[in-house]
């Protein structure tokens, strides 16, 4: 599935940008896969009581959508047409089917960006097992013309202020180690770094390698025995089977 998704994205990029740009893009993707393939895992505890909503500028508004039917046709088109429409539409249906929420930030009624949250489970096997009160932050995106204005921080902070009412206790997110914009967004929203990791899922078992900040050395392998979180459990401190690699 991951291979098919990568090929589909590359084909769509070729249709939009041509052969030369696609070759450069493929080369960049290969360098990142070889030399910057780790993910930085973040977490933030959610206060037991709902915190005050961050004050937004008069021109900003955040909307929460719990189903595809709630999304306006213009907003849906902007979300799906920005990259691969077929994959984007599939992701939307899959995530709403799992109970995820789509959060959209708007500037004077124009969609500026969006992000997803999913409580108690993850879209795919994760780096750590999530409990009932844990919330995954995923696929936050700002459209190019709205970048550089800290809108992703506004959006994350607004979402965090709402999660306590849903029974959320801890939020998790991840960003590629080369993605400085996403790393900065999590840091601005007061998320803390849990570590750097790589993962692979084989026959229902997710194997996660936690690494230090250095390019090599001090590497640990973490084996999660199940890819499905247990209901009714909160994850205050994850417990893993840890094995040092040599």
Cβ atoms of 113 and 145 within 8 Å: the answer is no
pLDDT of residue 74: 95
Cβ atoms of 100 and 118 within 8 Å: the answer is yes
Average pLDDT along the chain: 79
Dump pLDDT digits (tens) for 226-244: 333 333 333 333 333 333 3
Round to the nearest angstrom and report the end-to-end CA distance of the chain: 31
pLDDT of residue 211: 83
pLDDT of residue 241: 37
Q: What is the pTM of this model?
A: 0.75
* Residues of the chain under the 50 pLDDT cut: 1-4, 32, 34-35, 215-219, 221-246
Give the CA distances from residue 54 to residues 38, 62, 162, 168, 233, in Å, rounded to whole numbers and listed in that order. 32, 11, 10, 18, 30
Separation CA 137–CA 140 (nearest Å): 8
Separation CA 229–CA 1 (nearest Å): 22
Determine the CATH number of domain 37-194: 3.40.630.30
pLDDT of residue 201: 81
Domain ranges of the chain: 1-35, 37-194
Cβ atoms of 80 and 88 within 8 Å: the answer is yes
Helices (H), the chain: 2-17, 19-35, 73-81, 85-97, 151-163, 180-188
């Amino acid at each position: 599935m991951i291979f098919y998704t990568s090929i589909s994205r590359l084909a769509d990029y070729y249709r939009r940008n041509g052969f030369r740009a696609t070759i450069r893009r493929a080369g960049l993707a290969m360098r990142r896969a070889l030399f910057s393939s780790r993910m930085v895992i973040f977490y933030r505890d959610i206060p037991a009581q709902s915190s005050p909503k961050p004050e937004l500028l008069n021109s900003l508004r955040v909307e929460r959508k719990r189903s595809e039917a709630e999304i306006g046709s213009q907003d849906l088109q902007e979300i799906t047409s920005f990259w691969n429409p077929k994959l984007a539409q599939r992701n939307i249906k899959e995530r709403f089917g799992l109970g995820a929420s789509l959060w959209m930030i708007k500037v004077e009624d124009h969609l500026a960006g969006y992000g997803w949250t999913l409580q108690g489970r993850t879209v795919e096997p994760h780096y750590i097992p999530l409990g009932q009160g844990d919330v995954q932050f995923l696929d936050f995106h700002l459209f190019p013309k709205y970048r550089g204005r800290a809108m992703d921080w506004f959006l994350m902070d607004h979402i965090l202020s709402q999660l306590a009412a849903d029974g959320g206790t801890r939020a998790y997110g991840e960003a590629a180690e080369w993605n400085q914009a996403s790393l900065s967004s999590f840091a601005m929203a007061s998320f803390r770094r849990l570590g750097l990791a790589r993962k692979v899922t084989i026959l229902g078992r997710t194997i996660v390698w936690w690494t230090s900040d250095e390019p090599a050395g001090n590497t640990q392998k973490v084996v999660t025995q199940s890819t499905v979180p247990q209901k009714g459990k909160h994850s205050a401190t994850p417990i893993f089977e840890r094995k040092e690699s040599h």
